[in-house]
Chains A and B, each alone.
Chain A
């Protein structure tokens, strides 16, 4: 299993541009999340999904949108990029089944810089 895969790993955007961060998981997990990590800070939840077709806001959703059309994919859309969105973005998935209840499986992150 590849686990959670994020693309791209690095991206530089100009102010006002838009882009989509891709996330896919092959563990058949129902739950998926997007977190952002600013320098010297902990991770903050942007959006999450409990299954295909269901998404909800986290702590810092402004400026972002998500969709969940399949169990595997959970893309994060940035509209009108702003310097405040410069961060490292982590996608994660989890399940409530079996021995892994509660554990988040993270991707390796996507580093975004907005200039």
Chain B
């Protein structure tokens, strides 16, 4: 089955700096790659996703890049703010009717210091 590895496990940055989280996946059939943000005591919430026919996607301060050949994808957060502090998960699935059958990475605890 699919295996998703996520690094780093913790990331500490100063407010205004950029943060980058990287993930690798093993199954070349995976073609849907979402990123979820989980705040303390809450369920995960989708922040951005990318499909395999796209190399990069941006949404304001957040961007995701995908390298299908190398089987890795990354989350980039620019101009970080304290409210960005949370646990971030990458995930992968085969898309279509299997969109929601996600294999998650281990998570990254992001701390943004004011």
Contacts and interface: CB of A to CB of B under 8 A. Distances in A.
B85 interface: no
Contacts of B4: 42
Interface residues of A, number: 25
A101 interface: yes
Contacts of B44: 43, 90, 104, 106
Contacts of B99: 31, 94, 96, 101-102
Interface string B28-67: 0000101010000111111001000000000000000000
Which of under 10, 10 to 19, 20 to 34, or 35 or more describes the interface residues of B?
Answer: 20 to 34
A61 B79 CA distance: 41
Task: Report the 9 A-B pairs with minimum CB-CB distance, sorted nearest first.
Answer: A106-B43, A42-B104, A102-B99, A94-B100, A103-B46, A43-B104, A42-B106, A106-B44, A108-B43
Interface of B: 1, 4, 6, 9, 32, 34, 36, 41-46, 49, 89, 91, 95, 97, 99-107
Interface of A: 4, 31, 33, 40-45, 48, 50, 58-59, 90, 92, 94, 96, 101-104, 106-109
